[in-house]
Amino acid sequence: MVNNDHRIVSLNNVRAILKPLTSPHAALFLDLINSWKNFPLKQNAAAQGKKRFGAHFPRLVTNKRRLEQLSSTEKLRDILLDELVDTEKHAEEGLVPFPSDDDLEADDESAVDLVTNITNPSFVSEGCIPDLPSTTLADLGGFEEEVVHEVLFELPTTCSVFPCGHLIDLQHQNESVGFFTLATGSIAWIVWPPDVENLNTMTKAYEDYMEVLDTGEFADVARDLSGGVAFVQQAGETLHLPPFCPIIGLVMETAVLVRYAAVTESSFISMCRNIPLYKAWWNTEICAEEKQACFAKALCDCITHILQGEFDDINMEALKHPITPKGFLPTFLHVWDDIKEDVVSVMDANSAEELKHVWNEFLNSSTTQTCLICGVRCRPDRNHNRSQHFENKHWTQVTQAD
């Protein structure tokens, strides 16, 4: 367990830990730290952090209670071995770790070998386990959910198992607010703010993914990012990670990272605004079309729940423009015209028509004489008056996904 006085959050301390490492990735981290474009993680600089990162900013929290039920690394190992067996029983393909940098095949046997050796902080392996569903760790009192305001829905608890020396390649945090507890090991991180400049850099790098790989490592794109914070996460610390932050990590000791995440009202709006980033990222992924289709369905489902008032305490039958009191539905209506083209662009024709139908049902459920989106005088649907208004003013003619 760590002590608050021994947190590794200054650049000098991070440098001191990285310099002795023989990993080729340590040189990249040192270059990023010495570039004067990145900074230390200052635990007491909330105002400064909010200025760069927004309402949520990276921070480390020490919670000894989180791990008190895991009396030893051996117990953690046994839990994960059981989780591996359960995953193989319920998944058609079983569990396959990420392939190594040398594109060697990874199989279930290597996953078992990696978990078996989490008691060895120097264990080296060709792959990692990126996302292992972990109902056992989710149920442990030591991993109770963090308090997050304005939660729309939670994501299943998963854990990642990384061998010593593994590079957690440059990527962006998804649309969720993440709480990542390190159960064992240590990881050096750099987390960048999800500002326009950094996300544009990530989007272009995803779009040019194959060209980037032809000239070097994808991780080298991190040299073009700025404003990041560097630190080392130790066992027993929880990393609060904001949505859409570009991140990169270097595993310094065999690590087990337990991930709890939740999508909030603000992160959902950010997700809709960042759909161009998703489109570029899907180009780097296996089964890109399938992932986009799943994303589009989830997006349509969530918007349906929003328009049905399931996230707000609002009398849906008495709605009128402007909607009061404040809540997620009014916020979503306010930004809809700004995000509609990107939202519809990821949907196929059937999903787009389904979403349009949901919108028309919502708008026509109100007896008010004005449009709930813009406030323009618009009577309920006589001769399709309100539906036509929505089609002309609040829908989009962009080409849907194939």
Q: What DSSP letter does each residue of 246-312 carry, written as one string?
A: EEEEEEEEEEEEEEEEEEEHHHHHHHHHTHHHHHHHHTTSTTHHHHHHHHHHHHHHHHHHHHTTTTS
CB 385 within 8 A of CB 378: yes
Q: Categorize the per-residue pLDDT at 367 as very low, low, confident or very high, splitting at 50, 70 and 90.
A: confident
More confident residue, 5 or 357: 357
Q: Which numeric CATH code is attached to 4-265?
A: 2.60.120.10
Mean pLDDT (whole number) for 77-89: 80
Model confidence at 201: pLDDT above 50: yes
CA angle 65, 66, 70 (to 5 degrees): 95
Nearest to 95 by CA among 159, 171, 154: 159
Phi, psi of 273 (to 5 degrees): -75, -20
CA-CA distance, 191 to 27, in Å (whole number)? 17
Number of other residues whose CB lies within 10 A of the CB of residue 39: 17
Whole-number pLDDT of residue 399: 60
CA-CA distance, 352 to 345, in Å (whole number)? 9
Whole-number pLDDT of residue 51: 73
CA angle 262, 152, 137 (to 5 degrees): 35
DSSP string of 130-177, one letter each residue: EEEE-HHHHHSGGGPPPP-TTEEEEEEEEEEEE-TT-EEEEEE--SSE
* Lowest model confidence (mean pLDDT) among 3-17, 46-60, 219-233, 302-316: 46-60
Q: Which residues lie across from 264 on neighbouring strands?
A: 151
Maximum Cα–Cα distance across the chain: 75
Return the structure tokens found at 388: 């036509």
Q: In the chain, pLDDT over 70 holds for what percent of residues?
A: 83
Q: Categorize the per-residue pLDDT at 101 as very low, low, confident or very high, splitting at 50, 70 and 90.
A: very low
Whole-number pLDDT of residue 401: 63
Mean pLDDT (whole number) for 62-75: 73
Nearest to 142 by CA among 79, 232, 56, 57: 79
Residue pLDDT, tens place only, 261-290: 889 888 999 999 999 999 999 988 888 889
Whole-number pLDDT of residue 134: 84
Whole-number pLDDT of residue 100: 35
Return the structure tokens found at 203: 């989007």
CA-CA distance, 217 to 288, in Å (whole number)? 21
Model confidence at 343: pLDDT above 80: yes
End-to-end CA distance of the chain: 51
Q: How far is CA 3 from CA 16, 60, 62, 236, 249, in A?
A: 19, 12, 8, 9, 22
CA-CA distance, 83 to 161, in Å (whole number)? 12
CA-CA distance, 386 to 381, in Å (whole number)? 5
Q: Which residues lie across from 8 on neighbouring strands?
A: 232
Nearest to 170 by CA among 206, 135, 197: 206
Residue pLDDT, tens place only, 114-137: 999 999 999 998 888 888 888 888
Q: How far is CA 68 from CA 63, 64, 65, 182, 278, in A?
A: 9, 6, 5, 13, 38
Q: What average pLDDT does the structure give for the chain?
A: 83
* Helix or strand (DSSP H, E) at 241: strand 237-241
Mean pLDDT (whole number) for 99-116: 64
CB 319 within 8 A of CB 362: no
Q: Which residues lie across from 128 on neighbouring strands?
A: 98
Task: Tell if the pTM clears 0.85, that is, is over it.
Answer: yes
Whole-number pLDDT of residue 144: 44
Model confidence at 353: pLDDT above 90: yes
Nearest to 47 by CA among 55, 37, 36: 55
| Amino acid identity for residue 59 in this structure | R
CA-CA distance, 245 to 120, in Å (whole number)? 31
Number of other residues whose CB lies within 10 A of the CB of residue 301: 14
Nearest to 28 by CA among 226, 221, 228: 221
- Name the range with the highest mean pLDDT among 17-21, 58-62, 86-90: 17-21
Mean pLDDT (whole number) for 335-350: 94
Residue extent(s) of CATH 2.60.120.10 domains in the chain:
4-265
Residues 6+ apart with CB under 8 A from 92: none
Whole-number pLDDT of residue 384: 64
Q: Categorize the per-residue pLDDT at 97 as very low, low, confident or very high, splitting at 50, 70 and 90.
A: very low
